[in-house]
Amino acid sequence: MIMVMGAILLALYNTDVILKILHLFYRGRKRLTVIFKTALSYPGNKKFRTGATVAMFALVLLSVTVIAFLTAEQGAALNSVVQQDSGGYDIVTRTTLPVADLANRIGADSALSGKVAAVIPFNSTGVAVRDLTSGIGFDPQLAVGGDPNAPSPSNFTSTQATPSPWL
């Protein structure tokens, strides 16, 4: 924004230089020089009013550009996070309380029959991490584990972690 303001002020307080450059560029066409003089006479006469108007216009353009940029970036980031976290499924839900036998309940519901591709329960727990050699404790980490007996159409890939020698 400061660069835009600087460019506006530079142009407003140097209209005579701009006219000389335009006169050199359009050499031999006196009609254009008269048109440029007429077009720059009022902005040159009312410098503050013209500068304030152009600055407000630049501020609006900057705001629209930043909002469009942030909206596009947020949408792209959200789409990639949803695709990554959902494993390609349409709906992924999370609860703070465990629901007993959720997969069988959804499978037995006649309203959902044929509409649900898979129900894959994930378990999560907090893991306290501590370096035994230095005695430094780290923030609790979230460990998430999926059902190894998930249905075959599962889009999630699973890896089995090897036991750590430090725990």
pLDDT in tens, 110-137: 888 777 777 777 766 777 777 778 878 7
What single-letter amino acid sits at 114?
G
Q: Is there a domain that residue 130 lies in?
A: no
What single-letter amino acid sits at 85?
D
Q: Is there a domain that residue 28 lies in?
A: yes
Place of tokens 């460019």: 7
> Does the pTM of the predicted model rise above 0.85?
no
Q: Is there a domain that residue 154 lies in?
A: no
- Please give the pLDDT value at position 158: 52
Place of tokens 């209209």: 15
Q: Is there a domain that residue 58 lies in?
A: yes
CA distance 14 to 22: 13
For residue 13, give both structure tokens: 């307080």
pLDDT less than 50: residues of the chain: 166-167
Domain that holds residue 82: 2-86
Q: Is there a domain that residue 134 lies in?
A: no
CA distance 160 to 148: 10
Q: Is there a domain that residue 159 lies in?
A: no
- Please give the pLDDT value at position 89: 65
Q: Is there a domain that residue 127 lies in?
A: no
User: For the chain, what is the domain count?
Assistant: 1
